Chain A
Amino acid sequence: MSDEANKGLLSPLRRKLLMGMAAVPAITMLPRASFAQAPATSAVNTTGLAVTDTEVTVGILHSATGTMAISETGSIEAEKLAIEQINAMGGVLGRKIKFIQEDGASDWPTFAEKAKKLLVNDKVAAIMGCWTSASRKAVLPVVEQYNGMLYYPTFYEGLEQSKNVIYTGQEATQQILAGLNWIAKEKGAKTFFFIGSDYIWPRTSNKIARKHVENVLKGKVVGEEYYALGSTQFNSVINKIKLTKPDVIFTDVVGGSNVAFYKQLKAAGIDLAKQPLLTISVTEDEIDGIGGENIAGAYACMKYFQSLDNPNNKAFVPAFKKAWGEKTVIGDVTQAAYLGPWLWKLTVEKAGSFDVDKIAAASPGVEFKGAPEGYVRIHENHHLWSKTRVGRAKLDGQFELIYETADLVEPDPFPKGYQ
C-alpha cells in the first residue's frame, strides 16, 4: 500500500528517467543477471542460517504418520507445491529453496524435538509446520528460544501472538463472528446448540461464540456439549438436539469423529436442508471421509473453499491437482499452508535478508496478491487480514459459496469482551 503512495509522488518524467537509468546497467549485465540479483550471502544472512550462494534451506514439519496424517498431508503437499513454484520463478533473493521434511508423527513432544533439530542442527531459515494447537504449543517455546520463524497454517483459538510465528490461518473471532452474524440475519436464528471436541480450540471458539450470541445477537445457547477426541457416539447429544430444537446447531467437532457425527445425525432423521447447521471444522478434506450425501446442506464458515471463483484460485487448483493427483481436494488449511512459503519469500525480499529478526520486523504489511483465497496482508500482530466466507456443502463434497464479508476482517487474537 505504501509503495503505491510513494510512486504517486514521482512525476511521470522523473519516473521515465529513472527507468531509463535503471535499464542501462541491466542491459550491460544481462548475461550475469542472476548473479547481479543475488546479494552476497554475508549480507543477507548474519546469523548463521543455512543459506549459501545458491540455496536456502527451510523446514517442513507436519505429521506424515499417525492420526493427524490425514489432515496434515494436504498442508505438506501445498507447501511443497509453493516451494516448487517459487523455485521455478527463480527462488528467493536469487537462491533456490531446499526443504528438509520432518515427521511430527501426530505426537506433540516429537514436534518439539523435530523443531529443535531443524533449528539447531539444520539451521533452517524458516519452518512451515504444525497443525493442531497442541503441536504449536509444543513447538512455540522452541522457536522462541532458538529464534526461528514458524508459518502456522491452521485456523485456531487465538490468545497467542509471537514474534516468531506468522499465523496464516484465521484466529477464532475472525472465523466465527461473521458466520454467526450471517446465520442470525439470514435464518433469523435465536437459539444455538454447541457441540465440540474436548480440547482448547473448540472450547475457546465456543466461548467466543457464546459471548457473541448472548451479548451481540441477543440470542440464547440452549446446549453446550463436548466429546473426547476420536469419540464416535453422538446419540445422546442428538436426542438433546431433538428435544431443544435449536435454530442452529453450531459444531466444532474435529477429525474422524465427524464421520460418526454426521452419519448419526442423518440416521436420526435430522435433515440438514431444514435444520441449519453451522460448522467451523469441516473442510473439503473432512467431507472426503464423511461422504457428501451425509453432510449436504450444512453450512461451513471459514476463509477458503476449493470452489472459489477467482483467477488466483483457478490457477492454483489445477496446479495442485496436477502435482498431487486429480482426486485430491483442497481444504481451508491446505490453502493457508500454501500461503506460508509465499509470505516468507515476500517478506525476505522486503527485508532484503534471511535474518529472523529482520523478517519478524518486516512482516507487518506484507501483502500477497496471488493468494488463492484472494488477497491477504500480514497484520501488526502477525496474523492475516482475510475475508470470512460461508459455504454450503453439496452432494459432490464441494462447497457452494453463499456469503462473503465485503472487507477483509481484522485479526484480533486477544478479543476484548470475549474473554
Chain B
Amino acid sequence: MTDNRFFNRSELIGILVLAVFLVVVLPLTLDVFRLNLVAKYLTYAFVALGLVICWGYGGILSLGQGVFFGLGGYCMAMFLKLEASSVENTKIQSTPGIPDFMDWNQITALPFFWKPFNSLTFTIAAIILVPGIFALIIGTAMFKRRVGGTYFAIITQAVAAILTILIVGQQGYTGGINGMTDLRTLKGWDIRPDHAKIVLYFFEVGCLFVCIMIAQFVRHSKLGRILVAMREKEDRVRFSGYSVANFKIFAFCIAAVFAAIGGAMFALNVGFMSPSFVGIVPSIEMVIYTAVGGRLSILGAIYGTLLVNFAKTSLSETFPELWLFGLGGLFIAVVLAFPNGLAGIWGDYVQPRIDRLIASRKSKPDGWTDSSVADGAPAE
C-alpha cells in the first residue's frame, strides 16, 4: 500500500461490495416501503461515518452529533415547509402563506430568518455551512483551551440538550415538539410517491459514497495519520510542532458536516423533522451505531447502522412490548464480546480464513472473492 492511494485492494473490494449491496441487491429484493426504511437508516450512516473520523481516528468522542444532524435536517425541512405552505395550501389559516405551526402560535408574518429558506441554493449552502460553522465555534472554544476527552463529551451533550430545549420552547418559530410535519414537494416535485422515494434513495446512496470517498481520503492522507497519532499520544504530536487543536477542529467539523448531510437526507426521505433527533438520546444512539459497526472502520460503521436499525424495526414489529430488551442485549453482547464491533469480528475471524483460502488457490485471478463475501459483511 502506498500513501498516495485512496484505498488498498481489500478496501476497494469492500467498497465495491457495499456499492453492489446498496445499488443492486437491496433495490431488487426490497419493496418500496422497505427501501424507504433503508434510506432512513442510511441517513444515520452519514453520522456514523463522521464519527469514525472524529471518534475512531481522532479520538474525540462527541455525544452531540444529533445537534448537527438536527441543524442539517431543520435547514432542509424549513425549505420544504415553506414550499408546502403556499397561500393556496394554507387558506384555512388566519394568516395564509405561513407554516401551519406559526399560525397556531399567533405569529402573523414570516420571521426574518425563515425568508432566505425560500431559495434552494441558500438552503443547500446552509445545510453545509450552518453546522460547519457551529462546529467550528464549539471546536475552537474547546480545543484551543485543550478541553478534551470526557469533558468534551459532556459539553457536546449539554449542547444537544440546550438545542432541544430551544427548539421545543420556541415552537412558534420551529414547530416545537411536534417538529415540522407534512413536507410535500421539492421545487414542485412531489417527494411522497413511490417513484420519488426510489429516486431519493439512489441520490442518497450517491451522496453517501461521496462522503465515503472523502473519509477514505482523510484516512489515507497525512492528516489521517496525524489524527491517529494524536489519539494515541497527543503530547508527542504537539511537541513535534503540530497544532493539535486545529486538527481536532477539522475532524470535528467534518463529522458535523457529514451529520448535517444525513439530517437533510432524513428530511427529504422521511418528510419530517422533529427535535427527537436532536437530543441526548438520539446522539448516543448514533454513537452506538458506530460502536456496533466498529469505530475504526469506515464501512463497518455503515453496516453497523444498517444492522442496528434493521434489528430495531424488525424486533419492534415482532415483539412490540419486549423489543427494547432485545436491542439492549444486542448492544451489551457486542460491546462485551467484540469491542471493535462488526469490523472487528470480520478482521479477526473472517478475513484470515478468506486470506488462507485465497492463498491455497493462488491460481485464481486477483479480485476474485468467495460468493459468501458478496453478501456484504463489513470489509476493512
Contacts and interface: CB of A to CB of B under 8 A. Distances in A.
Interface of A: 64-65, 101-103, 105, 107-110, 112-114, 116-117, 120-121, 133-134, 137-138, 140-141, 145, 157, 159, 198-200, 203-204, 207, 228-229, 414, 419
B168 A112 contact: no
Contact of A414 (B33, B37, B92, B176): B92
Contact of A137 (B181, B270, B276, B320): B181
Contacts of B171: 198-200, 203
B272 A64 contact: no
Closest 4 CB pairs of A and B: A103-B320, A134-B178, A141-B182, A199-B177
A113 B310 CA distance: 13
Nearest to A207: B106
B274 interface: yes
Interface in B303-355: 313, 316-317, 320-321, 323-324
B33 A108 contact: no
Interface string B174-210: 0011110110000000001000000000000000000
B104 interface: yes
Contacts of A101: 320
Nearest to A144: B182
B33 A112 contact: no
Contacts of B92: 414
A203 B105 contact: yes
Given A103-B316, A117-B317, A141-B271, A108 B178 contact: yes
Given A112-B270, A112-B272, A200-B104, A133 B168 contact: no
Contacts of A204: 104
A228 B324 contact: no
Contacts of B150: none
Contacts of B105: 203
Nearest to A419: B94
21 contacts: A102-B316, A102-B317, A103-B323, A105-B316, A109-B272, A109-B274, A109-B276, A112-B270, A113-B270, A120-B33, A121-B31, A133-B178, A137-B179, A138-B178, A141-B271, A198-B169, A199-B168, A200-B176, A203-B104, A228-B169, A419-B94
A282 to B, nearest CB: 20
Contacts of A207: 106
Given A108-B276, A109-B276, A113-B37, A199 B323 contact: no
B248 interface: no
Contacts of B321: 64-65, 103
Interface in B275-322: 276-277, 313, 316-317, 320-321
Contacts of B134: none
A6 B165 CA distance: 58
Interface in B34-78: 37, 40
A341 B40 CA distance: 32
B179 A229 contact: no
Contact of B182 (A140, A159, A419): A140
A65 B328 CA distance: 13
Interface string B15-30: 0000000000000000
Contacts of A145: 192
Given A105-B316, A108-B178, A113-B37, 7 more contacts: A120-B33, A133-B178, A137-B181, A200-B104, A228-B165, A228-B168, A414-B92
Interface of B: 31, 33, 37, 40, 92, 94, 101, 104-106, 165, 168-169, 171, 176-179, 181-182, 192, 270-272, 274, 276-277, 313, 316-317, 320-321, 323-324
Nearest to B190: A145
Interface of A is mostly: helix
B323 A137 contact: no
Q: Is the interface of B mostly helix, strand, loop or mixed?
A: helix
Contact of A117 (B33, B104, B169): B33
B42 to A, nearest CB: 14
A204 B103 CA distance: 11
A134 B316 contact: no
Nearest to A106: B276
Contacts of B179: 108, 134, 137-138
Contacts of B106: 207
Count chain B CB atoms within 10 A of each CB in A110, A138, A198, A203 and give the residue with the most.
Answer: A138
Contacts of A103: 316, 320-321, 323
Nearest to A414: B92
Contacts of B323: 65, 103
Contacts of B316: 102-103, 105, 110, 114
Nearest to B165: A228
A138 B274 contact: yes
Chain A CB within 10 A, most for which of B31, B104, B177, B277: B177
Given A134-B177, A200-B176, A107 B276 contact: yes
Contacts of B276: 107-109
Nearest to A199: B177
A392 B176 CA distance: 33
Nearest to B92: A414
A198 B168 contact: yes
A137 to B, nearest CB: 5
A203 B316 CA distance: 33
A200 B101 CA distance: 9
B5 to A, nearest CB: 40
B324 to A, nearest CB: 5
Nearest to B179: A108
A113 B367 CA distance: 40
A263 B272 CA distance: 38
Contacts of A419: 94
A140 B317 contact: no
A105 B165 CA distance: 21
Given A65-B321, A198-B168, A200-B171, A134 B274 contact: yes
A137 B40 contact: no
A145 B317 CA distance: 22
A173 B182 CA distance: 25
Given A134-B274, A228-B165, A419-B94, A141 B181 contact: yes
Contact of A116 (B33, B168, B176, B178): B33
A112 to B, nearest CB: 6
B320 A64 contact: yes
A112 B37 CA distance: 11
B119 to A, nearest CB: 24
B310 to A, nearest CB: 13
A415 to B, nearest CB: 12
